[in-house]
Amino acid sequence: MNKKETIIQTRAKKLRKKLSVIYPDAYCELDYKNPLQLLVATILSAQCTDVRVNKVTPLLFQRCESAIDYSTISQEELETIIHSTGFFRNKATAIRKTAMALLQRHQGIVPSTLGELSALPGVGRKTANVVLSNAFNIHEGVVVDTHVGRLAQRLGLTSQHHPVKIEQDLMKLFNRKDWGILSHWLIWHGRRRCYARKPDCRHCELHALCPSAKKFLIELG
């Protein structure tokens, strides 16, 4: 391990300790009661806030309780229910196709392996990791959404820009048992402090560990 790698590894350890204190109760902020609900909610969360998704899912989950329900609901009705989440046509199509695949391949049950989940229509690695980590407590990787990607770069944990490469860097820096909670910590910090446009560096609890803080403070005046 070279000097740069040692510095990053040390920073990661300090960040892990700090984040666990700042957000001891961090959790997935999508509302769900079972793996199928989480899978659908995660598909809906693309380019949409969890708050908005949580306003839509109560009616949706009441209307559709099983993979059969999602496969038989009309495209038009589903689009109407999820309209406010944006990209509703594509999302409705993805949900219905995923439900059909669940029925054809898994007897309508959401599988608990990365390969089987990732092979479902409309389900990529990120969505699969969300479901595995939160619904099954299985940690095959780190969920890299826009918040995680942004913070991993700002905190100097990666120089990569592609989600899969960012994930690979984070997996090397943190213990497997922390992969699930790590994404929650970073997502919570991204939503509450390290905003995309104007990060609140002055009040940031991670200020002393963040290589980007000084730059943002100068830019923000």
Average pLDDT over residues 139-143: 97
> Is 145 marked active-site?
yes
Residue from 13, 50, 145, 200 carrying the catalytic annotation: 145
**Residue ranges matching CATH 1.10.1670.10 in the chain:** 3-26+142-220
Q: In the predicted model, is pLDDT for residue 15 greater than 90?
A: yes
pLDDT band at 22 (very low <50, low <70, confident <90, very high): very high
Cβ-contact 98, 43 below 8 angstroms: yes
User: Selecting from 1.10.1670.10, 1.20.1280.290, 2.120.10.70, 3.30.70.3270, what CATH number does the domain 3-26+142-220 have?
Assistant: 1.10.1670.10
| pLDDT tens digits along 50-71 | 999 999 999 999 999 999 999 9
Is domain 35-135 classified as CATH 2.30.110.10?
no
> Is 126 marked active-site?
yes
Model pLDDT, residue 220? 61
Residue from 91, 126, 169, 178 carrying the catalytic annotation: 126
**Residue ranges matching CATH 1.10.340.30 in the chain:** 35-135
Q: 173: closest CA among 1, 15, 39, 9?
A: 9
- The average confidence (pLDDT) of the chain is 96
pTM of the model: 0.94
Q: In the predicted model, is pLDDT for residue 94 greater than 80?
A: yes
Q: Number of helices and strands (H, E) in the chain?
A: 12, 0
Q: How far is CA 52 from CA 26, 30, 44, 56, 130, in A?
A: 19, 10, 9, 7, 18
Percent over 90 (pLDDT), the chain? 93
Q: In the predicted model, is pLDDT for residue 183 greater than 70?
A: yes
